[in-house]
Structure 1
Amino acid sequence: MLKRNILEIHVLVLAFMLVVWYFPTNFNFLIWNVFLAIVPFDLALWIRATKSTRWLKWGLTAAWVVFFPNTMYMVTDFSHLSSIGTGLMTETQFFNYAILASGVLMGMLFGMSSAHAVAIAYFGEKKSLQTLAFYAGLSLLSAFGIYLGRFLRLNSWELVTDMHGVLTQVAQAFTTHSLVFVVSFGALQLAILLMYHVLRKM
């Protein structure tokens, strides 16, 4: 049943990508962004299901942490609404708004679900303080990752292809501008993750 549900999720993602690709919108970048957002979701499922060595689990978790900001990054894609206007007046705006919102919410759901899965894999259902600390640290790291992606245009895989260049830019990114962004978006993510966690428990 679980495998079937996972397959259905990927089919829905593929269908969304085909719609974005086939119909004229200003948001073709959503295809790539949604693809990057589902990567940490798949990694989280693997982390929770793995029965192998600790080293494999930690390696998967490290990869998950690197890719996780791609999920919450998508909330910043709402900034692209400026390309079609912020009012809901025309049929074109209706369609574009629906496409953009679908992609953003999809990415955020992948983020919330994957964070919840990893938290359960490491802390179980009852360790509330550890889970809270995990979400808080993850939110700040992710917010900084979003800043690097949105403003410095860095991508997750560049840690492998150009680690020295990435680390150099990261060292230069600690500014008042980045601090305000990280605190603001870190708090936003923490609130979202905690709300999702509580709702799942209910």
Structure 2
Amino acid sequence: MKKIWYYIVLTILVMAGVILFTPKYLYLLWNLILAWIAYLLSYMIANVKKKEWKGKAIIFFFLWILFYPNAFYMITDYIHFQQLNFYSGNSYGIVYDTSLTLWMIFAFHVLIITLALLLSFHAYKKVEKKLIGSGKFSKLIFLSFISIGVGVAMCVGRFHRLNSWDVFLAPKVLFSYVKEVFSPRYMPLAGLFASLHFLMIELLERKDDY
């Protein structure tokens, strides 16, 4: 629980920094809020009592499935670095830009995306513990299932620019794009994103195994 309070304080500080110094990148904060929603839903699932399981937990789990990919999706926000010029070349070689604002943008991206990945990990582990328990094979199947869902969602979100709530606002459009993900054009990308999620969860879970 102490770790989450640390994340909350860090979130507040980073949000204040972005608003004050780099307001052009407010979209990062919106994505971070979506990552927090995924974590809060996992917290609700973890604290549902057995007698309430059939009601509340099913609703929370459905919403969690919709919002969870947003947390891991933030890793693709690194592509926005292409809009920045960190260095330039001339006849004397490479010259690096030492603008404080430029490197603050870099720092905010790294902090926010890392925070979103950590929230993604903790959200996943809370749900896994509640639904799956400690069975290794069951955990592997569950992680594979969630990773595939994340891979599909990341393709729909990044390449077709749809959001979690479009399952309610534009379900036909959303499902048409989901089907399109299983085409030769997008399936390798979905597989790449799914593998990245799977490996990242495994890596974070084993971070203390040394």
Output the TM-score relative to the length of structure 2: 0.86
Matches of 2:190 and 2:118, distance apart in 1: 20
Alpha-carbon shift at residue 26 of structure 1 (Å): 4.5
Q: Is contact 2:152–2:178 with CA below 8 Å preserved after alignment?
A: no
Shift of the 114–83 alpha-carbon distance from structure 1 to 2, 3 Å rule, reads same
Structure-2 residue corresponding to 1:27: 25
Q: Which is worse superposed, 157-166 or 88-97?
A: 88-97
What root-mean-square deviation, in Å, do the aligned CA atoms of Structure 1 and Structure 2 show?
Answer: 2.1
Q: Does 1:55 align with 2:55?
A: yes
Q: Does 1:123 align with 2:132?
A: yes
Query: 1:110 is matched with which residue: 102, 113, 119?
Result: 119
Query: 1:148 is matched with which residue: 151, 156, 163?
Result: 156
Alpha-carbon shift at residue 55 of structure 1 (Å): 2.7
Structure-1 residue corresponding to 2:90: none
Q: Is contact 1:158–1:166 with CA below 8 Å preserved after alignment?
A: yes
Structure 1: runs of 5 or more not aligned: none
Alpha-carbon shift at residue 129 of structure 1 (Å): 0.8
Matches of 2:208 and 2:71, distance apart in 1: 19
Structure-1 residue corresponding to 2:77: 77
Alpha-carbon shift at residue 194 of structure 1 (Å): 1.3
Matches of 1:123 and 1:84, distance apart in 2: 43
Q: Is contact 1:33–1:74 with CA below 8 Å preserved after alignment?
A: yes
Structure-2 residue corresponding to 1:177: 185
Matches of 2:85 and 2:29, distance apart in 1: 21
**C-alpha deviations, 1:60-114, integer Å up to 9, x for none?**
1111011111011111000000111254632333211101111111111111110
Query: 1:94 is matched with which residue: 97, 103, 110?
Result: 103
Shift of the 5–198 alpha-carbon distance from structure 1 to 2, 3 Å rule, reads closer
Bigger Cα Rg: 2
Structure-2 residue corresponding to 1:168: 176
Matches of 1:196 and 1:5, distance apart in 2: 15
Matches of 2:209 and 2:44, distance apart in 1: 21
Structure-1 residue corresponding to 2:93: none
Amino acid at match of 1:148: V
Query: 2:201 is matched with which residue: 190, 193, 202?
Result: 193
Alpha-carbon shift at residue 5 of structure 1 (Å): 5.8
Q: Which is worse superposed, 92-101 or 68-77?
A: 92-101
Matches of 2:145 and 2:127, distance apart in 1: 13
Matches of 1:8 and 1:184, distance apart in 2: 31
Aligned residues: 199
Output the TM-score relative to the length of structure 1: 0.89
Matches of 1:128 and 1:174, distance apart in 2: 29
Shift of the 130–80 alpha-carbon distance from structure 1 to 2, 3 Å rule, reads same
Alpha-carbon shift at residue 44 of structure 1 (Å): 0.5
Shift of the 41–191 alpha-carbon distance from structure 1 to 2, 3 Å rule, reads same
